[in-house]
Amino acid sequence: MRSIAVIGAGYWGPNLVRNFRANPEWDLVAVCDLDEARARKVVGDRSTVDIETDVRRLLARTDVDAVAIATPARTHAPLALAAFEAGKHVLVEKPLADNAETAALMVSAAEAAGRVLMIDHTYCYTPAVGYIREVVESGQLGDILYVDSTRINLGLVQPDVDVFWDLAPHDLSILDFILPGGLEPRSVSASGADPLGAGKACVGYLTMPLSSGGIAHVNVNWLSPTKIRQMVIGGSRRTLVWDDLNPQQRISIHDRGVDLATQAKDATRRAAVTVSYRMGDIVVPALPEKEALGSMASEFAAAIEEGRAPRTDGRAGLRVLSVLEAVTTSLATGGPVTCPEPGMSPEPRTSPEPAMSPEPVEGHEKELVA
């Protein structure tokens, strides 16, 4: 059993505290927050978990093997770098950092220190997304022709980020997890609208070509009165539909699609194409109901024990962050943006200043996925 401390007792920190506390592979020894009363409320009465209000003191403790950081994105890099210097393993809430440059510094620092850096892409630890990854890897769907993801609801307009940075990380992290080779689009094109005059995109559409020759489309929206969490993955053999809000049928696999038969065999002549429709069975797999954060905590422990990268490592977080930055550039320029390599510059222009204030994360959408 390894020991862990949670930094940040605001919005998401209590969920991490609860899951690490309940996990038999972890011993939660401390919760750190500038607001001592808030930390004590999270820990509860008659608890053996220590309360810390100073991150430096926390990282100096020899009984802490790892830390889970649930603070604002701008503090992730300074806190993680200090933790690596102190010899700790690190789990970070999404996004990995507030920009790809400092995120790349975190990845490099973890590798140099020989410590695990893990990003809490929560959806990747749900039974549904794990099943989707297995189906894609097995080739049941065939070549991926398209992915259409919708994440809309009547949500809180965030004070510091637009709808892409608030909602799209969920979809991007899922795509990075299920697609062969991860999320490495050649280009990104985004369009957004601000009908409320909030000063940021409240409705957005993101399009990326896939290495398979297909295309991915993500729709995010704060203004919809109807909440939809759905992803359709169309393959050359079958199509998978994931409806996260339907516990009776979260996933269905459809043996239905379009077949093209080229009649003209002479390439010098114009090919005549006949369209036929394949109408087969629909398979609905039985999936267990299990809280994703519990699986995430176990994966963090296993990665440390086995000396390997976790399923959602720092590089996965960096890939998602690089796409989000490309989205921002595309919105500013009004056109597609060529994606660079995911920010792995070994010498970023600046290093983040140490930030030892574990402020809480408030307001950003976080869902306790089963």
Q: Which of 213, 209, 236, 232 is nearest to 139 (CA)?
A: 236
According to the model, what pLDDT value does residue 269 have? 54
According to the model, what pLDDT value does residue 256 have? 77
Q: Are 206 and 217 in contact (CB under 8 A)?
A: yes
According to the model, what pLDDT value does residue 280 have? 74
According to the model, what pLDDT value does residue 351 have? 43
According to the model, what pLDDT value does residue 357 have? 45
**pLDDT (tens digit, 9 = 90+) per residue, 186-225?**
899 999 999 999 999 999 999 999 988 899 999 999 999 9
Domains of the chain: 2-122+291-313 (3.40.50.720), 127-283 (3.30.360.10)
Separation of alpha carbons 4 and 89, rounded Å = 9
The whole model's pTM is what?
0.86
Q: Are 127 and 290 in contact (CB under 8 A)?
A: yes
According to the model, what pLDDT value does residue 279 have? 73
According to the model, what pLDDT value does residue 107 have? 97
According to the model, what pLDDT value does residue 145 have? 94
According to the model, what pLDDT value does residue 265 have? 53
pLDDT lower than 50: segments of the chain: 263-264, 344-368, 370
Would you state the structure tokens that stand for residue 137, as one six-digit string? 């890897």
Torsion sign (Cα): 92, 366, 319, 102: negative
